[in-house]
Amino acid sequence: MLSDLNNLYTGVIYDALRDMGITDCVLSYNIKPSFPVKKLVGPVWTSEGQTDHTISKDDSLSGWSKLLSKAESGHIMVCAANNTAVSHMGELSAEVLKNKGVLGVVTDGGTRDVEFLEKINLPVYCSYATPKDIVGNWKVTNFGKPIVIDGVKIVTGDYLVADADGIVIIPKKLTNEVIEKAMSKLNQENIMRESILSGMDPHEAYLKYRIF
């Protein structure tokens, strides 16, 4: 399954989902890799938190370390931060996740220690970078449960594909069907492309293949 998804790009995956009636599947264009990454593909493990300016340093870090302990190997940790003021990933946490076999991190929040993240090559997609951490500012509220980011419902076990165009979420139960439809569309596009490059009028090509 992962090898099939690695051979697809987010645009054709979105097209397949759209044709299935699913359009709330793309995360905000504000969520970008903190350093250059070609692609990130894998099953999702969810987490969530919220702003809390009353939480103690110990409670902040205790909750965070518990989250790191529960993160699932072979998955992408996706965090609904519900916060735009602090970093939700940093060098030590990233190294722990990398050592556990976590594939990467995606959050609508922020990160810090970007140079270190690149050094250990743990992909982190986020909305911003800041040196300000979670201590006394933010707490973990749950992990492994359904979350919502940018209106997209995300469940542990869903699949995430991120490339230069953005990030798309594929519902777990539809993954095989989406792959099949996306591959079919990709093959049709290649056939149509050859026809156009061989001289067929673009509109005639559309009328024949009904794709573009």
User: Per-residue confidence at 211, pLDDT binned at 50, 70, 90?
Assistant: confident
Mean pLDDT of 55-72: 97
Residue 6 has pLDDT above 80, yes or no: yes
Rounded CA gap, 93 and 100, in Å?
11
pTM exceeding 0.85: yes
How confident is the model at residue 126, as a pLDDT?
Answer: 98
Please choose, from the candidates 169, 188, 167, 165, the residue with its C-alpha nearest in 3D space to the C-alpha of residue 178.
169
If you write DSSP's letter for every residue of 66-81 in order, what string do you get? HHHHHPPTTSEEEEE-
User: Per-residue confidence at 194, pLDDT binned at 50, 70, 90?
Assistant: confident
How confident is the model at residue 29, as a pLDDT?
Answer: 97
How confident is the model at residue 128, as a pLDDT?
Answer: 98
For the purposes of burial, counting CB atoms within 10 Å of the CB of 70, is it exposed (0-12), middle (13-18) or buried (19 or more)?
A: middle
How confident is the model at residue 189, as a pLDDT?
Answer: 83
How confident is the model at residue 2, as a pLDDT?
Answer: 84
Mean pLDDT of 158-184: 97
How confident is the model at residue 181, as a pLDDT?
Answer: 96
How confident is the model at residue 157, as a pLDDT?
Answer: 98
Mean pLDDT of 31-42: 96
CA angle 9, 83, 22 (to 5 degrees): 35
Residue 133 has pLDDT above 80, yes or no: yes
Residues in the chain: 212
User: Per-residue confidence at 207, pLDDT binned at 50, 70, 90?
Assistant: confident
User: Per-residue confidence at 195, pLDDT binned at 50, 70, 90?
Assistant: confident
Rounded CA gap, 2 and 44, in Å?
12
